[in-house]
């Protein structure tokens, strides 16, 4: 080789975890949701944790649990194969789909076993519930006596079963109903794994619709414990947010019409600190979030199509998945097809 020869080009790098999914017949909703859930960084800790997988395989007792455990196990095996993929391969999620068909038989989710179009938001709720129930184990540690009410409420919620999914995707609200006549307050704690926000109106931003979701609500018909029938004002404040915050846009009306208005958002980092309670003590209060994944729904309610865009955190690159097709993109597009945005907390600033 002479001295002035150009250096050889670097060998092509295999891409870890870039893997499309075969459509098994109207399963674009399922394929997109699988891509999004496996993109949670916590999922990498789950599918590589052999002791956790062994425990799931042993199937906990209880009427619903064995099915949730078998769905979770099949989902782990599918995502293991997908993460083992190098350079844009394709997987056929048939074994996983068959487990779902088996698990939903005779339940309210029976339709998920049929080759029909389904709602991606409902399917994501179902899959996360299955994964939580399939991995849940009772918590062994009590919260200390001097723990805050929010910390105690959180421990109570998960006392029967706690899982990596509860930590990764659930937040905690304090909901206060204040009587408009006498000022009496009743307080309850609610956990949630999705924020359902309205479609932005003209000129509204993402921050505006989150503020709308958090706005005090007047409830005209209410019975106060102290002074009887009257009205109340309900306020909802964050006490804790998960590292993966799922925001669902309310695109479908009660009559199943679709609202096609675009979501105006440029993908810049976002803070939820203004919507935290003044006395919230969880560290998530100061977290800054950025997009991790988006679910897009094209077309109308019936016969529409789902695709998604997710960040591959191993390769630090963005991919759009449309069933089998994986396309490298600069980042998600937000617009008239945006149905769900998953926000991920930035890793600094804990
Ligand atoms: Zn009252």
The confidence band for 349, taking pLDDT boundaries of 50, 70 and 90, is very low
pLDDT above 70 (res 79):
yes
Q: Please, what is the end-to-end C-alpha distance for the chain in angstroms?
A: 52
Secondary structure (DSSP) of 30-53? HHHHHHHHHTSHHHHHHHT-HHHH
Measured in degrees and rounded to the nearest 5, phi and psi for residue 204 equal -85, 145
Question: 166 alpha carbon to ligand 1 midpoint, in Å?
Answer: 36
Q: Is 138 left (phi over 0), alpha (psi -120 to 50) or beta?
A: beta
Q: How far apart are CA 315 and CA 15, in angstroms?
A: 7
CA of 223 to the centre of ligand 1 (A): 8
- The lowest-confidence range among 20-24, 44-48, 95-99 is 44-48
Pairing, β 195-197 against β 244-249: parallel
Helices (H), the chain: 28-38, 41-47, 50-57, 65-84, 94-104, 120-135, 149-157, 164-169, 206-214
Among 82-91, 112-121, 140-149, 168-177, the range with the most confident prediction by mean pLDDT is: 168-177
For the cut 70, the answer to whether the pLDDT of residue 88 exceeds it is no
Ligand 1 centre and the CA of 171: distance in Å? 29
Residues of the chain above pLDDT 70, percent? 92
Q: Give the distance (Å) from ligand 1 centre to CA of residue 217.
A: 16
Task: Tell me which DSSP letter residue 108 carries.
Answer: T
User: pLDDT averaged over the chain?
Assistant: 91
Q: Structure pTM?
A: 0.92
Please give the structure tokens belonging to residue 146.
């001097």
Backbone angles phi, psi at 202, to 5 degrees: -55, 130
Cα 149 to ligand 1 centroid, rounded to whole Å: 24
Q: Can you give the pLDDT at residue 59?
A: 62
Q: What is the C-alpha to C-alpha distance for residues 93 and 106, in angstroms, rounded to an integer?
A: 22
Q: Which residue has the tokens 């092509």?
A: 12
* Amino acid 324: pLDDT: 96
Span 256-276, average pLDDT? 93
Asked if pLDDT for residue 336 goes beyond 90, the answer is: yes
pLDDT, residue 137, reads 86
Q: What is the predicted pLDDT for the residue at 257?
A: 87
CA of 235 relative to ligand 1 center, distance in Å = 16
Give the DSSP H or E segment for 19.
strand 19-21
**pLDDT tens digits, 170-207:** 999 999 999 999 999 999 999 999 999 999 888 899 99
For residues 95-119, average pLDDT: 93
Nearest-5° Cα angle at 114, 132 to 297:
75
φ, ψ for residue 6, nearest 5 deg: -65, 150
Q: Does 11 have pLDDT greater than 70?
A: no
Query: 1 falls in which pLDDT band (50, 70, 90)?
Result: very low
How far is the centre of ligand 1, averaged over its atoms, from the C-alpha of 133 (Å)?
39
Q: What is the mean pLDDT of residues 291-316?
A: 91
Confidence at residue 93, expressed as pLDDT on a 0 to 100 scale: 96
3-state secondary structure of 328: strand
Which of 212, 330, 230, 317 lies closest to 275 in space, CA to CA? 212
């Amino acid at each position: 080789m002479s001295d002035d020869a150009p250096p050889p080009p670097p060998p092509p790098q295999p891409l870890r975890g870039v893997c499309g999914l075969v459509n098994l017949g109207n399963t674009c909703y399922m394929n997109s949701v699988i891509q999004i859930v496996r993109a949670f960084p916590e999922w990498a800790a789950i599918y590589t944790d052999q002791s956790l997988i062994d425990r799931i395989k042993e199937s906990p007792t209880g009427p619903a649990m064995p099915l949730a455990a078998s769905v979770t196990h099949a989902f782990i095996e599918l995502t293991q194969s997908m993460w083992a993929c190098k350079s844009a391969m394709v997987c056929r999620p048939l074994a996983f789909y068959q487990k779902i068909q088996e698990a939903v038989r005779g339940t309210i989710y029976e339709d998920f076993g049929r080759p029909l179009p389904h709602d991606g938001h409902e399917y994501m709720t179902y899959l996360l519930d299955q994964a939580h129930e399939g991995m849940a184990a009772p918590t062994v540690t009590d919260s200390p006596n001097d723990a805050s009410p929010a910390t105690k409420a959180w421990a109570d919620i998960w006392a029967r079963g706690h899982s990596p999914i509860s930590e990764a995707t659930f937040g905690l609200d304090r909901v206060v109903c204040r009587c408009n006549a006498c000022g009496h307050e009743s307080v309850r704690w609610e956990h949630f794994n999705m924020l359902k926000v309205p479609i932005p109106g003209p000129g509204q931003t993402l921050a505006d619709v989150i503020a709308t979701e958090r706005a005090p609500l007047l409830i005209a018909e209410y019975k106060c414990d102290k002074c009887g029938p009257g009205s109340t004002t309900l306020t909802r404040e964050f006490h804790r947010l998960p590292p993966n915050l799922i925001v669902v846009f309310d695109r479908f009306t009660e009559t199943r019409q679709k609202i096609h208005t675009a979501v105006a958002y440029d993908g810049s980092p976002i803070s939820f600190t203004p919507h935290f309670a003044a006395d919230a003590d969880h560290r998530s209060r100061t977290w800054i979030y950025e997009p991790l994944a988006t679910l897009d729904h094209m077309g109308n309610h019936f016969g529409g199509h789902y695709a998604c865009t997710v960040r591959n955190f191993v390769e630090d690159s963005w991919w759009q998945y449309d069933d089998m097709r994986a396309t490298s993109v600069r980042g998600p597009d937000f617009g008239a097809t945006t149905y769900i945005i998953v926000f991920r907390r930035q890793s600094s600033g804990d």
